[in-house]
């Protein structure tokens, strides 16, 4: 995942420079392909070659598109905007937003030390510097990608997080000696899972309840959840491995905040709309708590001179206007990106959901975002860093 995020940042920067050289056109000339045809040309070949099916959601100042490709399983029905998928690590943007919300409510502060939220009987080994919640949210805690006691030979490879409990996660922390002081980027599912557990403890409320009360209910995202109802199970796309064989949905326990959320394209378009509102809002004016939290989460919280650039759970491109995350579980892949340019009515968002574990989804999503930005404006003047 870390390598993919570096690649995504590089690709976005390169494409912004290409876009900046294009002339401004208020209307496309006769014969130019509309946005849907452009997206079809990007997505359909990937679906035919690498995927079984996918849903692509697109947001521009004038359009809301939900495009369906392929099927949910061989010879099965087509997916749509209400088809549910695991979103994997895209869950981290929700966790970062919950951290921002808890900070704004005064339940904690982003720079609180992790040690302040440990259960009774759990103590950290001596460290060069304390781990803060900001370190956890920006993958700079020094903690490994997975807990050191999450032994691979004890895991079910088709559902690896299923039996890993809160108690195990805290015990792993007590027994771990980070190899270096916090501050350097190292992508960590473990750290993000701990962050969700800390937010739970600070708010005295389970993660799934916080998710519902503070993000999904206010935004009308009724299909974004961890546990599915019987009706939602009927709309849950079946998992597939990368070879297109039938897979298995994952079950998260302790590390649910790192990757345990399910959602739909319709719902994630609502999240994109909210991020756009948050990025365009005047911080001096009142706003809904979730909009204020999203504004804080999609602000740079890692050192400005370092890459990758990270907000709270969100990854950002160097241009300062794009926020993105990708996710993959054993049978699903997701991509979410939002770009808000420093001019009125210059923004775009893309979500891609597929029920197959495939490396092809993220680059396809990046191409879809660039195509959508071309559609929005043919001249983009960005504050590219020199």
DSSP code string of 130-183: --BHHHHHTT-S---SS-TT--GGGS-TTSTTTT--HHHHHHHHHT---SS-TT
CATH class of the domain comprising 2-92+99-110+206-376: alpha beta
Q: Would you say residue 345 has pLDDT above 60?
A: yes
Q: Would you give the end-to-end CA distance of the chain in angstroms? A: 27
Give the whole-angstrom CA distance, residue 274 versus residue 300.
18
Q: Would you say residue 10 has pLDDT above 80?
A: no
Share of the chain above pLDDT 90, in %: 76
Q: Would you say residue 183 has pLDDT above 80?
A: yes
Q: Would you say residue 320 has pLDDT above 90?
A: no
pLDDT value of position 24: 38
pLDDT, mean over the chain: 89
Q: Would you say residue 365 has pLDDT above 90?
A: yes
CB 215 within 8 A of CB 99: no
pLDDT value of position 8: 52
Q: Would you say residue 301 has pLDDT above 70?
A: yes
Give every CB contact of residue 178 below 8 A, 6+ residues apart in sequence: 127, 131, 141, 142, 143
Q: Would you say residue 282 has pLDDT above 50?
A: yes
Neighbours of 288 (CB within 10 A): 14
Q: Summarize pLDDT for 346-358 with one digit per residue, the tens.
A: 999 999 999 999 9
Q: Would you say residue 154 has pLDDT above 90?
A: no
Give the whole-angstrom CA distance, residue 370 versus residue 35.
11
Q: Would you say residue 341 has pLDDT above 70?
A: yes
Question: Of 132, 236, 256, 239, whose CA–CA distance to 183 is shortest?
Answer: 132
pLDDT value of position 377: 74
Q: Would you say residue 23 has pLDDT above 70?
A: no
User: Tokens in use for 88?
Assistant: 């994997």
- Structure-derived torsion over alpha carbons of residues 275, 279, 282, 284, reported in degrees to the nearest 10: 80
What's the Cα-to-Cα distance from 3 to each of 8, 103, 326, rounded to whole Å?
9, 30, 12
- Structure-derived torsion over alpha carbons of residues 67, 71, 76, 77, reported in degrees to the nearest 10: 0
Q: Would you say residue 5 has pLDDT above 90?
A: no
User: Tokens in use for 24?
Assistant: 């401004």
pLDDT value of position 127: 83
Judged by phi (left if over 0) then psi (alpha if -120 to 50, else beta), residue 193 lies in: alpha
* Site of tokens 């040690």: 115
Sign for the pseudo-dihedral over CA of 42, 47, 49, 51: positive
Q: Would you say residue 79 has pLDDT above 80?
A: yes
């Amino acid at each position: 995942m870390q390598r993919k995020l570096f690649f995504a940042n590089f690709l976005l920067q390169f494409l912004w420079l290409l876009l900046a050289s294009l002339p401004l056109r208020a209307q496309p000339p006769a014969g130019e392909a509309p946005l849907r045809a452009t997206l079809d040309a990007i997505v359909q070949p990937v679906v035919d070659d690498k995927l079984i099916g996918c849903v692509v959601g697109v947001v521009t100042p004038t359009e809301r598109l939900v495009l369906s490709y392929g099927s949910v399983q061989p010879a099965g029905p087509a997916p749509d905007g209400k088809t549910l998928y695991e979103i994997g690590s895209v869950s981290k943007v929700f966790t970062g937003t919950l951290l921002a919300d808890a900070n704004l409510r005064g339940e904690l502060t982003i720079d609180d030390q992790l040690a302040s939220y440990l259960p009774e009987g759990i103590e950290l080994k001596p460290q060069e510097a304390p781990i803060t919640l900001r370190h956890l949210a920006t993958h700079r805690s020094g903690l490994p990608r997975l807990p050191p006691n999450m032994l691979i030979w004890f895991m079910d490879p088709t559902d690896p997080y299923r039996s890993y409990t809160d108690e195990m996660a805290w015990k792993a922390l007590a027994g771990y000696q980070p190899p270096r002081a916090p501050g350097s980027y190292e992508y960590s599912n473990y750290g993000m899972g701990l962050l969700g557990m800390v937010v739970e403890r600070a708010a005295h409320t389970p993660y799934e309840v916080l998710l519902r009360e503070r993000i999904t209910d206010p935004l009308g995202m009724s299909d974004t959840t961890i546990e599915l109802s019987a009706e939602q199970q009927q709309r849950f796309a079946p998992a597939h491995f990368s070879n297109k064989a039938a897979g298995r949905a994952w079950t998260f326990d302790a590390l649910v905040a790192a990757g345990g959320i399910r959602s739909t394209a319709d719902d994630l378009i609502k999240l994109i709309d909210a991020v756009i509102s948050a990025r365009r809002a005047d911080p001096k004016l009142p706003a809904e708590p979730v909009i204020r939290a999203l504004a804080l989460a999609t602000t740079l919280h890692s050192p400005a001179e370092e890459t990758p650039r990270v907000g709270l759970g969100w990854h950002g491109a160097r241009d300062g206007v794009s926020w993105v995350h990708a996710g993959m579980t054993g049978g699903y892949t997701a991509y979410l990106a939002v770009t808000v340019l420093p001019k009125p009515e210059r923004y775009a968002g893309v979500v891609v959901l597929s029920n197959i574990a495939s490396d092809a989804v993220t680059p396809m999503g990046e191409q879809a975002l660039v195509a959508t930005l071309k559609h929005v404006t043919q001249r983009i003047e960005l504050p590219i860093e020199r």
